[in-house]
Amino acid sequence: MRMRKMLVFSNLIGVLTVAVALLAQTEGPWFGTWKLNVAKSKYSPGPAAKSQTTKLEPWEGGFKNTTDAVTGTGETRHIEYTGKFDGKDNLVKGNPDSDSNTYTRIDDHTYQVIAKKGGKATVTSRIVISADGKTRTQTQTGKNPQGQTVNNTLVFDRQ
């Protein structure tokens, strides 16, 4: 009887372990908490951000983004929004540089985000997550709301 209980318990642990692993895989590498690696990032025009932490979590078939940042000029920003990878506009709160974004999933490790201000596309970001899921590289190109050409490479480390 004791051996049977141990076998049932062992099988239950195995099933739960597989279920948790499968659930984590279905969420994909996009989700998690990401911290800007300022030393590896490049900003043009500058100044570079002093810090940024972004938390991406599943939300109603899409995701919720919560970002806390300190800009290169020392301004603190708390940005929140929800979105889906459907190419449609999603409202952004707390970012004076954009009022909406569109999101497209290119593959499991590559995403595109188009920031808009007043309905006009400003900056396009291509986000690539490393095969090991530990690094997120975001290449930004376009023009900021001040009309300056943007050519940034932001590198984030998974926390």
In DSSP notation, 122-144 reads EEEEEEEE-TTSSEEEEEEEEE-
Q: State CA 40 to chain mean position distance.
A: 17
Region 62-67 average pLDDT: 96
Question: To 5 degrees, how large is the angle CA 67–CA 71–CA 73?
Answer: 160
CATH number among 3.30.60.50, 2.30.130.30, 2.40.128.20, 3.30.750.24, domain 31-158: 2.40.128.20
Predicted confidence at residue 100, as pLDDT, reads: 96
Strand, helix or coil for residue 21: helix
Cis peptide before 29 (omega within 30 of 0): no
Strand, helix or coil for residue 60: coil
Q: Are strands 90-91 and 76-83 parallel, antiparallel or unpaired?
A: unpaired
Predicted confidence at residue 20, as pLDDT, reads: 37
Predicted confidence at residue 7, as pLDDT, reads: 47
Q: In the chain, what are the domain boundaries?
A: 1-28, 31-158
Predicted confidence at residue 57, as pLDDT, reads: 97
Given a cut of 50, whether residue 50 has pLDDT beyond it is: yes
Given a cut of 80, whether residue 17 has pLDDT beyond it is: no
Region 20-39 average pLDDT: 74
Higher pLDDT, 22 or 155: 155
pLDDT tens-digit map of 84-94? 999 999 999 99
Q: CA–CA separation, 159 vs 143, rounded Å?
A: 30
Region 124-149 average pLDDT: 96
